[in-house]
Copies of this chain bind each other. A is one copy, B any other.
Amino acid sequence: MKRPTMKDVARAAGVSPMTVSRAVSGEPGVSPGTAARVEQAVRQLGYQRNDNARNLRRKNPGTSTIGLVVDDLANPFYALMARSVEDEAHRRGCLVLVGSTNDEPRREREVIAAFTARQVDGLLLVPTIGGHGFLKQPMEGGTRVVCVDRPAKGLAVDTVTVDNRAGAERAVRHLLAQGHTRIAYLGDRFGIWTQRERHAGYRDALAAHGIPEDPALVRHDLRSRSDAAAALAALRALPGPPTALFTTNDVITMGVMGALGPADRVDVVGFDDFPLADRLSPPLSVVSQDPVALGATAAHLLFSRIDGDRSAPRSVVLLTRLIVRGPGQHDS
């Protein structure tokens, strides 16, 4: 019923618990014969080492566990990132605790508190819009933190992002080059850093063409596909409807594309690529970012911190790629 312990194995093998510890952990200083007897007892009892107790006692600190905190694990973008992080962790013999925040600072705090209480070696964090002062204490206690996708306000840690502003600017510039002047912006919460950056890129491109931003064409706070579809309907009901759309994440893009038909003559550029995006009509151009690279880069940074890198925090910016589909097609 109860799990066997080293003491049980020791009794069965006729040695001391200490010897079992050494044998099970593959440490030197155990004769082959003893090792065999121990292994036999281990198999017979179905013994497995309790790694929690182990991590408690070990001098070499560390639990070989990291926490991954994302906005929403179900979002394909974060799902790809999570998988990539998990692969890196697995390669290193490290486990991954996951948590979704829903962009709620309260839930973020809860999840992170639960993770640090379990003594994770590090946190890979897609920070919410809330403050992150509460991370100072765990960080002084040795928990390493790396931010992905967005920086955390007032937190000096490694951060991996993409060139959101430049990517958005290039996307809108492409639409301007197609002759559009009424380009709508459909975005998520303005509080989210990526959204502010992408909005800035949108304004950059308009400004470069001397076009003033039309507030009626700018919609923020779209949290779901249906929000996006509703915003699109409202935009098209305007006296001067937009002739092109810039959507700032995959969810919004999907909401918009779901509401458009093949007959609709609107040019759309969306942030984030997704499967079969190239098979839609009207054609959908995208600013593509690589969530796998994002996750892997962040994981590498985190692990090098865990391994003792104490240099100044780094900020890594990965590049996006504009993929043009439909008329005017050429990559850039």
Contacts and interface: CB of A to CB of B under 8 A. Distances in A.
Interface of A: 1-3, 46, 48-53, 55-56, 63, 65, 72-76, 79-80, 82-84, 86-87, 90, 93, 95-100, 107, 110-111, 113-119, 136-138, 140-142, 225, 254, 257-258, 262, 274-276, 278-281
What is the copy number of this chain in the assembly? 2
A87 B100 CA distance: 8
A117 B51 contact: yes
Nearest to A93: B114
B258 A113 contact: no
Contact of A48 (B79, B107, B113, B276): B113
A96 B97 contact: yes
15 contacts: A46-B141, A48-B137, A48-B138, A50-B117, A51-B117, A51-B118, A65-B118, A86-B98, A86-B100, A90-B99, A90-B100, A254-B276, A258-B276, A258-B278, A276-B276
Contacts of A50: 56, 117, 119
B63 A73 contact: no
B98 A82 contact: yes
